[in-house]
Amino acid sequence: IKRFIRNDLEDALPAGKRIVMHPRYGESLSDMVDSSTERLLLAVGPEGGWKKEELDLMQEHGFTIASMGWRTLKTETACIAMLAIAHEAMGRKCLMENVNHG
């Protein structure tokens, strides 16, 4: 992960919101994503979470730490859950904007 962040991250996602998921720490993912988010990179790690050094490195490169709550999910389950949460949050906020402005 260190090599990717240091060498390839800017090519993969030069601009956009970067969120790293970590169990039981950080803001709620649904509060961090909105309809203005055009590019989003979500990073999920192992079931026990990221090492402190990895989180520090990601924060140095523009990542914000988010959580999906207190439950520890398997990595493959966490990926599906975080995509669903982000998608729903983006759609809900977009819908509310249309209701308020329409």
- For residue 65, give its domain range: 2-101
In angstroms, rounded to a whole number, what is the distance separating the alpha carbons of residues 61 and 24? 21
- Model confidence band, residue 95 (pLDDT cutoffs 50, 70, 90): very low
Asked if 54 contacts 9 with a C-beta cutoff of 8 angstroms, the reply is no
pLDDT digit string, tens, across residues 15-67:
788 999 988 778 888 888 877 777 888 899 888 889 999 999 999 999 999 98
How far, in Å, CA of 61 to CA of 86, rounded? Answer: 21
Question: Is the per-residue pLDDT at 82 higher than 70?
Answer: yes
Q: Which two tokens stand for residue 86?
A: 């982000």
Number of domains in the chain: 1
CATH of residue 63's domain is 3.40.1280.10
Q: Where does the pLDDT of residue 14 fall: very low under 50, low under 70, confident under 90, or very high at 90 and above?
A: confident
What are the tokens at 56? 């520090």
